[in-house]
Amino acid sequence: MKYDAIIIGSGQAGMPLSLKLADKGWHVALVEKGPLGGTCINTGCTPTKTMVQRAQIAYYASHAARWGVRASNVSVDLPEIVAQKDKVVHHMRGPKQGQIDQRPDMRLYRDTARFVGPHQLSVGGETLESEKIFINTGTRPLIPAIAGIESSGYLTNATIMELTSVPETLLILGGGYIGLEFAQMFARFGSRVTVIEPRDQIIPREDPEIAAELRRSLEIEGIKFLVNTRAQRIERKGDSVVLSLAGGDANSAASTVTGSHLLVATSRRPNTDDLALDKAGIATNEAGFVKVNSKLETNVPGVWALGDVNGGPQFTHISYNDYQIVYGNIVDGKNFATEHRLVPYCLFCDPELGSVGLTEKQARAKGYKLKIGSLAMTHVSRAIERDETNGLMKIVVDASNDRILGATILSSAGGETIHILYTLMLANLPYTFLKGAIYIHPTMAEGLFSLLETVKPVS
């Protein structure tokens, strides 16, 4: 069967691309062996942020006295939270089948796709052909090669959200974005949480003072951290899991930690194993991610890789932007590319970490002369009034032209506020453009007024 386009995977690039191409009158095949919607809707953003919000409610309720409110007998009904999470997931996923059914030029294949040539796929015993093929198969958890891990009964970001009883003690391998969101979530549900991170700070991409402030905030809630620490062996002993540790904090503390549950949140691996990419001559890197150029095309002309599977920034909104790039280029005749793409993102802890562009350490590594501004949230009226003063704002500026190179806002609603500075960067305007602006009082965004006043040259 010949198609104008074949899309493998119904994630946040594949689904909108297939629908828009079908709306243009293209004969489109969409291949999806799992639930429609990809990682974001089914095991990523939608379910996790639903549960993060419930965890925040639990925190407010159990700490109500801090705000002068009396609350008693607060408890977490995890089965009900999981049921609410599932309801939201089904609500987001549900319309997608109908969207496909409404398009007569689109066919959904519920099977695995394997390349048999550069532009041929085998799907459920049928051969599909197209001059335009788009790979949007996403990623899954990468399980580290630690002795005993396979028999430990570990959890992943997907399976931990299926638990219906709160872990008594939760051990987490990995102090990155996924690990920290679940660390705070389950600490607020009532678990005792320990995070083991092999590098010298949590969220290693971020500047040290940002990571340190977030760590301090999480430690206030009782979360323990072991950095520069690796798990060498994992053993299941009855109802417990025991990790043998080495390095860093393990040398100055117990060499083992014991928990009731273990979450593996170390890294992700691409879903390319079953694609038989070698049959098409499609190149991958050592980790299995599909290599693409700045227009997201592989080394095989007419084959593109979109979203997490191409090894770019692992965010849903970047997957969607990948769709916008290829659609704009192929259908609208644009010349979109990824070289200078600004990538905003957010870590949905409390306080939220919203960020865009370069960190200070990245800007220094690139040789920029810098101006830096920084402001603790203890100086922001709205944060003081809410009694949520953990966090800080930071801006990194090119000293030669006053353009913003990057910014980070660690605060309540940090993921929202960062968009103001992101918009300024998109417009290629100097940071001084906002210095005379009027900010609504009192808002978190009003903190930008004071932040910009702190910008000074640094050596």
Which is catalytic among the residues 27, 317, 419, 441?
Answer: 441
Strand-by-strand arrangement of the 120-123 sheet: 113-117, 120-123, 126-129
Between CA 243 and CA 248 the distance in angstroms is: 15
Find the mean pLDDT for residues 333-355: 97
- Provide the pLDDT for residue 190: 98
State the chain's mean pLDDT as an integer. 97
Please write the tens of the pLDDT for every residue from 248-291.
766 655 699 999 999 999 999 999 999 999 999 999 999 999 99
Between CA 74 and CA 63 the distance in angstroms is: 10
Taking each helix axis from N to C end, the angle separating 208-220 and 177-189, rounded to the nearest 10 degrees, works out to: 20
Whether 63 is catalytic = no
- Provide the pLDDT for residue 249: 67
Complete domains list, the chain, with CATH: 5-36+94-139+269-330 (3.50.50.60), 149-267 (3.50.50.60), 345-457 (3.30.390.30)
200 C-beta neighbours (distance < 10 Å), count = 11
**The two structure tokens encoding residue 228:** 């520069």
CA distances from 429 to 279, 354, 368, 401 (A): 48, 20, 18, 9
Is residue 358 scored above 60 in pLDDT? yes
Between CA 212 and CA 36 the distance in angstroms is: 39
- Provide the pLDDT for residue 46: 98
| pTM of the complete model beyond 0.85 | yes
The sign of the torsion formed by the CA atoms of 374, 380, 386, 387 equals: positive
Confidence of residue 109 (pLDDT cuts 50, 70, 90): very high
Between CA 84 and CA 47 the distance in angstroms is: 9
- CA nearest neighbour of 262 among 199, 186, 211: 186
Between CA 177 and CA 175 the distance in angstroms is: 7
Contact status, residue 226 vs residue 215, Cβ threshold 8 Å: no
For residue 351, is the peptide bond before it cis, meaning its omega torsion is within 30 degrees of 0?
yes
- Provide the pLDDT for residue 43: 96
Between CA 441 and CA 29 the distance in angstroms is: 52
Find the mean pLDDT for residues 351-363: 98
Find the mean pLDDT for residues 377-381: 98
The sign of the torsion formed by the CA atoms of 240, 245, 248, 253 equals: positive
- Main-chain phi, psi angles of 146, to 5 degrees: -110, 135
Find the mean pLDDT for residues 377-391: 98
441 C-beta neighbours (distance < 10 Å), count = 9
Please write the tens of the pLDDT for every residue from 165-212.
999 999 999 999 999 999 999 999 999 999 999 999 999 999 999 999
**The two structure tokens encoding residue 149:** 């891990």
Please write the tens of the pLDDT for every residue from 288-340.
999 999 999 999 999 999 999 999 999 999 999 999 999 999 999 999 999 98
Between CA 1 and CA 363 the distance in angstroms is: 50
- CA nearest neighbour of 9 among 148, 130, 109: 109
- Provide the pLDDT for residue 247: 85
